[in-house]
Amino acid sequence: MRLLITAGPTHEPIDAVRFLGNRSSGRLGAALAETAASRGWDVRTLVGPHAILPSPSSDAIEVHRFQSTADLEALLVEHLPWCDMLIMAAAVSDFTPVVPDDAQDTKWRRGSDELSLQLRPTPDLLKGCAERARGDQLLVGFALEPAETMLASARGKLERKGIDFIVANPLETMDADRIEATILQRGGEPIAQTDGTIPKTDFAGWLLDQLDAAAAVRSTDHRTAHE
């Protein structure tokens, strides 16, 4: 199994020293990479700024760093063809500042006037991957959503992005030690669910078990369809 994992935040540049970012730590991506490598999978990780790196003792894990959504998009174009499965755990910015081309060479100065920052939406990277992916590749996304509307929102994202699986987590577990998850497959049907909440330290193992099993089913289906 060749596994490509994205993790951590994106930093969208505003000027030479400022950026628009988010609080993602990259912890889940690092845990997934270490767990997959310990199972003998080949792992490449695309890791955002200041995010936790997988343990350096594991030679089976290749690490590439990105800063902005545009950097991550370029890395995905380069590395997607290599993988059997993409797990998109990065917290990709939904917007990027509209700034002049040379903005990163200068620093904005404070004046007495108010300043407005214009934002434009970033491309949906998973959707782009789904448009380029081969039929034998599996694409997995995440949906962190309020519990009440979680499944409906996750189904919408799965369909909009055209990916194979989405891992839905309730927003309420974001800063907790335990996590709850439901994996939905293309079409919106749930294929696995944690037994209530489980410790976050067990989550990477649980998720890889489920995705490994789902990949085995998919590859049998794929083979049967081509026989």
Site of interaction with ligand CTP (CB under 6 A): 88, 90, 92, 94, 122, 124-126, 141-143, 157
SS3 162: coil
Query: How many other CB atoms are found less than 10 A from the CB of residue 74?
Result: 12
Torsion on CA atoms 184, 133, 22, 206, rounded to nearest 10: 40
For the CB of residue 141, give the shortest distance to ligand CTP in the complex, in Å.
Answer: 3
For the CB of residue 57, give the shortest distance to ligand CTP in the complex, in Å.
Answer: 27
For the CB of residue 189, give the shortest distance to ligand CTP in the complex, in Å.
Answer: 19
For the CB of residue 226, give the shortest distance to ligand CTP in the complex, in Å.
Answer: 29
CB closer to ligand CTP out of 94 and 136? 94
Torsion on CA atoms 149, 151, 154, 155, rounded to nearest 10: -120
For the CB of residue 192, give the shortest distance to ligand CTP in the complex, in Å.
Answer: 17
Assigned token pair, 125: 């990277």
For the CB of residue 216, give the shortest distance to ligand CTP in the complex, in Å.
Answer: 22
For the CB of residue 129, give the shortest distance to ligand CTP in the complex, in Å.
Answer: 7
Amino acid at residue number 51: A
CA separation for the pair 60, 43 (Å, rounded): 6
What are the Cα distances from residue 34, in Å, to 16, 40, 41, 198, 206?
Answer: 34, 10, 10, 19, 13
CA separation for the pair 71, 3 (Å, rounded): 19
What are the Cα distances from residue 14, in Å, to 21, 68, 102, 105, 206?
Answer: 10, 11, 10, 10, 39
CA separation for the pair 129, 73 (Å, rounded): 9
CB closer to ligand CTP out of 4 and 106? 4
CB closer to ligand CTP out of 38 and 173? 173
CB closer to ligand CTP out of 94 and 221? 94
